[in-house]
Structure 1
Amino acid sequence: MSDNTTQVFRIYIDAPAERIWEAITTSELNNQYGYGGNLEIDLRPGGTYRNFATPGMVQMGMPEVVVTGEVVEADPPHRLVLMWDPVWVEEPATRLTWEIEPTGNGSCRVTLTNDLTDAPKTAEMVEGAGPATNEGGGGWPWILSGLKTLLESGRSMSGSGS
């Protein structure tokens, strides 16, 4: 993590780039790590992105769609850029960039960059520290850890996904 305006997270995952891409762009795998929930994504520039609430989130009072956005760039399985907007935070959408780089030994370096310019509440929420962490959140570090656990072990990390 660098600062509150741009946060950069990097992790190495022992999985091919195609499998990582599938995990970040399909409901089947998205439901098994992080906060879960079905996805709708139109992988072309200007396409829509929506992440739906899980039944547990709806029971807690969250709306049906918890994150909206727009696809800025999609280069499967290497790069996905979204304008990403959690609906419960009244701030501008932030730019979210996923970069998946094969390392040559069958694993990949995954870099997640979140440009949080003009979005201090979102910055606090996604950094994975502070009060939200104690209430069941964990931001991008928690989501990336869940992604790694799922793809390397085939199981969901405790407390994540559905």
Structure 2
Amino acid sequence: MSDNSFVYVTYIRTTPEKLWTALTDPEFNRQFFLCSHQESDWKVGSSWKLVFPDGSTADSGEILEIDPPRRLVIKWRNEWLPEVKEDGYTRCTFAVEQDGELTKLTVIHEADGPHKLIANVAKGWPLVLASLKSLIETGKGFERPPSKG
């Protein structure tokens, strides 16, 4: 990981179509995205946001590319940490590929230059994506971990 990009690859025992549904359906999101969910109508140019369980907006942006069930690119900005928000937007790409009985998910979160959000997502994405894999393969995602401090 650099200070302007984070890449995570995982393999999930599922189909690309089921993984796509998990990534884009708010009710499915709540089961793996640590109780948060995404809201969008999933069309190029549409607004997008990640919503905390209390209804506040965690992150916001715009759908830049969408090719179900293969590729999704979101223009992404943090909304709840002022020092991160001031860095502006990043891009998050989800690439979904069939690989035999498995589906390969690659998440690339990147910025045009150094960006504080990349350090945050480097901590968050592994937990969220492990929860997604667990939910799809076992029927149970992870609960939101208790806050520290």
Short-chain TM bin: 0.7 to 0.9
Cα RMSD (Å) of the superposition? 1.6
Quote the residue 1:109 is aligned against: 104
Quote the residue 2:95 is aligned against: 99
How far did residue 119 of structure 1 move? Answer: 4.8
Corresponding pairs, count: 141
Quote the residue 1:24 is aligned against: 23
How far did residue 155 of structure 1 move? Answer: 0.7
Match of 1:124 among 116, 119, 142: 119
Counterparts of residues 12-161 of structure 1 (less than 5 Å): 12-55=11-54, 64-88=56-80, 89-90=84-85, 91-105=87-101, 107-128=102-123, 139-159=124-144
5+ residue gaps in structure 1? 59-63, 129-138
Identity %, equivalent residues: 30
Q: Secondary structure at the match of 1:15?
A: coil
Q: Is the 8 A contact 2:95 2:107 kept in 1?
A: yes
> C-alpha distance in 2, partners of 1:144/1:38?
14
5+ residue gaps in structure 2? none
Superimposed CA distance per residue, residues 65-95 of structure 1 (whole angstroms, 9 cap, x where no aligned partner): 2111100010001100000112023221100
Q: Is the 8 A contact 1:7 1:116 kept in 2?
A: no
Moved over 2 A (4+): 34-39, 116-120, 157-160
Superimposed CA distance per residue, residues 102-157 of structure 1 (whole angstroms, 9 cap, x where no aligned partner): 0022x1010000112335210111111xxxxxxxxxx1111110110000000122
Q: Secondary structure at the match of 1:127?
A: helix
Quote the residue 2:4 is aligned against: 5
